[in-house]
Structure 1
Amino acid sequence: MAVRLPLLILLALLSAPVAARGGMPSCLKCHPAHYRALGSCVACHRGDPRSDRVRIAHHDLVQGRFAWFALPGSGPTERGRRLLEGFACRRCHTSAGKGNRLAADLDLLPAGTTAQGIFEAIGNPALLMPQFHFDDRQKTELVNAVLAGAREAGRKAGKGEGEPPQVVHFQDGDASRDNVFEKRCGACHRALTRARGGVGRGSIGPNLSGLLSEFYPKTAAGRTAWSATALEKWLDNPRKSREQTQMRPVVLKPGEFDRLVPLLDDPPAP
């Protein structure tokens, strides 16, 4: 027993993490140090700097092209934020604490979600998500914007505490029921709604998810947010608002507009 005890102690010391043995992080054995003022390697890249084994050290690693989010004011992150705004991602998603909850909250992504996974999801959109045809650089910048938004939201006290589970509907499952969107809009448009899930089947016209929220792009005139009044005017005579539009007037039966507005307004649950 006297012989085995020192041996066990030696094995424990050899297997202890690098940081615990007083050595430098394993990252710096292969990679040069940079942006030291921002903190340790894991502050930006995650991973496990305690291990010399590559597969362990690189677990959940954030690659360099996705780590600009940790550098305040970085070009890729700022360009990603402009893309996020310009393409109205918040009409369905929440990012940096702002947006609708029709689709995944980008500030509360499931554990195990990687930057590469977000990159691939942008390029291979889920059902009812518009295909934006971003190039690789734009997708990389969007990933940085998403990660920066999640970090910003995470700094807010109580983020995620006491929130009800989010339910996202992608398919209505009964398009034949009394649904004015399906009858009057669905041939050309699609929309993700809280109450009905996915409605519409067309891809000729723009995706109308979150149309009457503050996060949807401005009206055809490009000056104000969409409202019930603006929508009614547009449906009555689209070319009066945009002369070159290919959309024709939509003739609604009495009461149909009153049923359409709540579907597209879709206020968040209390």
Structure 2
Amino acid sequence: MAVRFPLLITLAVLLLPYQAVQAGGASCLTCHPVHYRALGSCVSCHAGDPRSDRLRIAHHDLVPGRFAWFAVPGAATTERGRDLMERFACRRCHSSAGKGNRLAADLDRLPAGVTAQAIFQALDKPALLMPQFYFDDRQKTELVNAVLAGAREAAGKGGARKGESPQVVHFEEGAGGRENIFEKRCGACHRALTRDGGGLGRGGIGPNLSGLLSEFYPKTAPGRSRWSVAALEKWLENPRKSREQTQMRPVVLRPGELDTLVALLADAKQPRRIPGPAGLSLPVSRR
């Protein structure tokens, strides 16, 4: 009996971290009150490490409460974030909840390596060629919850879409590749992310044209309809005929240039090639 007693104590100590996780995070509950117990353990909403009572370890990659509404079904914060995502057409470049274009990062995969706070900060300081939406802190919080909810939804459907492969961005010597129809005719006022040409344009006067001909671009064509090749052609010929107060002037295209422009703006399945310093290449996950 004297031998078995120390053995039982040893087993209890070894099993304690496992029991803490199974119980929903015993170390969490020493400081925080129980809430939303029906949704699962603490880590199912907030992540962190419940096996330790050391604050820095237990709070590693913690999802703060304001970003954890994504785990609460029907939460108003998440629903407002989803509305913002639709209103500002985030899917024109990104994929969320398994839907969207693949011109920029797949938001369904971000939570695997990026904290909620980092997503919040990315909305505050957009990446190159990402439109500046000027969201306030509340809107950014709502969008983060929508992103996390979309990632959870996509994971429930099996995660990444079938046939999705890593995307590689190649840099080529010289600026010859920049001499394309978009740069010549549109780039002074507009910007766009494209599969074949990468990020194009330098202007901020006109709207960002990323994903223009896709189903995820805002319905801003004349008549508040979706942009099509025919609508784009009519618009370029005489913008003020379709929208009297527009500041845009007609764009005179040579034979064949419209087809080239459409091919560049369309959701082509080609690897992206961006001009840059010789000998450099940057692998970017096609997310």
* TM-score normalised by length of structure 1: 0.89
Which has a greater percent of strand?
Answer: 2
The SS at the match of 2:133 is: coil
**Contact 2:97–2:151 (Cα < 8 Å) also in 1:** yes
Q: How many residues align?
A: 268
What residue number does 2:13 align with?
13
What residue number does 2:93 align with?
92
- Which whole-Å CA distance do the structure 2 matches of 1:77 and 1:21 have between them? 27
Residue 173 of structure 1: CA displacement? 6.8
Distance 1:135 1:87, change over 3 A: same
What residue number does 2:241 align with?
240
Moved more, 172-181 or 44-53: 172-181
The SS at the match of 1:17 is: helix
**Contact 1:70–1:148 (Cα < 8 Å) also in 2:** yes
- Which whole-Å CA distance do the structure 1 matches of 2:86 and 2:116 have between them? 20
What residue number does 2:276 align with?
none
Residue 110 of structure 1: CA displacement? 6.7
Structure 1 counterpart of 2:72, one-letter code: L
Are positions 1:262 and 2:283 aligned together?
A: no
- Which whole-Å CA distance do the structure 2 matches of 1:36 and 1:21 have between them? 14
Distance 1:109 1:86, change over 3 A: same
The SS at the match of 2:131 is: coil
Distance 1:188 1:12, change over 3 A: same
What residue number does 1:107 align with?
108
Structure 1 counterpart of 2:31, one-letter code: C
What residue number does 1:199 align with?
200
Residue 167 of structure 1: CA displacement? 3.7
Distance 1:21 1:200, change over 3 A: closer
- Which whole-Å CA distance do the structure 2 matches of 1:43 and 1:49 have between them? 11
The SS at the match of 2:192 is: strand
- Which whole-Å CA distance do the structure 2 matches of 1:77 and 1:125 have between them? 21
Distance 1:185 1:114, change over 3 A: same
Q: Spell out, residue by residue over 1:121-163, the C-alpha distance to the aligned partner (whole angstroms, 9 max, x if none).
A: 1111111001100000000000000000000000113635653
What residue number does 2:212 align with?
211
Larger RCO (CA within 8 A; separation ≥ 6): 2
Are positions 1:252 and 2:253 aligned together?
A: yes
Once superposed, which parts of structure 1, at least 4 consecutive aligned residues long, lie more than 6 Å away?
A: 21-24, 169-173
- Which whole-Å CA distance do the structure 2 matches of 1:133 and 1:34 have between them? 34
The SS at the match of 1:77 is: helix
- Which whole-Å CA distance do the structure 2 matches of 1:235 and 1:212 have between them? 14
Distance 1:239 1:222, change over 3 A: same
- Which whole-Å CA distance do the structure 2 matches of 1:170 and 1:94 have between them? 25
Structure 2 counterpart of 1:228, one-letter code: V
- Determine what percentage of the aligned residue pairs are the same residue: 75
The SS at the match of 2:200 is: strand
Structure 2 counterpart of 1:156, one-letter code: K
Distance 1:71 1:153, change over 3 A: same
- Which whole-Å CA distance do the structure 1 matches of 2:169 and 2:225 have between them? 29
The SS at the match of 1:260 is: helix
Moved more, 37-46 or 167-176: 167-176
Unpaired segments ≥5 residues, structure 1: none
Unpaired segments ≥5 residues, structure 2: 272-287
- Which whole-Å CA distance do the structure 2 matches of 1:156 and 1:121 have between them? 26
Distance 1:135 1:44, change over 3 A: same
Moved more, 216-225 or 40-49: 216-225
